[in-house]
Amino acid sequence: MGKFKSALYRFMYGRYGKVTRDAVEAVDKNHMRIGSRVNGNCPSDEGYLRAAGYYLDIISTNLYGGLNPKAETITNFYRYSGKPFIVTEFYSKAQDAIDFNGQLLANQENAGWLVRTQNDRANYYENYTTLMLESRYCVGWVWYRFQDNDQSLYSNGDGKSILRCYKKGPRYSV
């Protein structure tokens, strides 16, 4: 990431951090500040992390990136901010997932890492969380709710949202 972009992130998050900190402290000086669940390039950006570390008690982030986040990203959370972090979103989804009627789910939507089997999914979770524990700076994580899903259950393909319910036999639209 370029120096200009990093400086911009530092400025923007510094401003955001100051305004929100001052507003919260005006009513509750004992309130813990955990930030705004950053994602994309911000989690590894030095400028953002330095500003966030100044204003936050804990860095919160949606941390995706393959089977395991980069070790450098995890190390940089504390290196640049001086604060622990919490992963507020990560998950995987399995190609062999089925719904409550035994129908195979597409599992092609959203940011979760796609793995072959439910066993691979369990291994992903174990490896990911072990990495977080070994970092010594991670204070928690959230296994996001969009695991094993089929977005075709919520759309009929022409842009209209519907919910399809499956029962033994014919398909019903609600």
Give the whole-angstrom CA distance, residue 23 versus residue 31.
11
Predicted pLDDT of residue 154: 53
- Region 96-103: what's the mean pLDDT? 76
What pLDDT shows up at residue 86? 93
pLDDT given at position 115: 87
Please report, to the nearest 10 degrees, the dihedral formed by the alpha carbons of residues 6, 83, 79, 140 taken in order: -100
How much is the pLDDT for 166?
A: 44
User: What does the angle CA 43 – CA 46 – CA 49 come to, to the nearest 5 degrees?
Assistant: 55
Query: Average pLDDT of 62-91?
Result: 87
Which of 35-39, 61-65, 76-80, 88-92 has the highest average model confidence (pLDDT)? 76-80
d(CA 18, CA 110): 32
pLDDT for the residue 106: 72
Q: What is the pLDDT of residues 153-170, one digit of tens each?
A: 555 555 544 444 444 444
Q: How far is it, in rounded angstroms, from Cα 157 to Cα 94?
A: 23
Is the backbone of residue 169 left (phi > 0), alpha (psi -120 to 50) or beta? left
Does residue 171 have a pLDDT over 60?
no
* pLDDT category of residue 78 using cuts at 50, 70 and 90: very high
Integer Cα distance of 152 and 158 in angstroms: 11
- Please say if the pLDDT value at position 152 is more than 70: no
Name the pTM for this structure: 0.75
Q: When comparing pLDDT for 90 and 156, which is higher?
A: 90
Amino acid in the structure at residue 96: D
Q: Which of 119, 71, 111, 112 is nearest to 93 (CA)?
A: 112
pLDDT digits over 17-56, tens only?
A: 999 999 999 999 898 888 887 766 666 788 889 999 999 9
Residue with the bigger pLDDT between 132 and 170: it is 132
Are 117 and 96 a contacting pair, CB within 8 Å?
Answer: yes
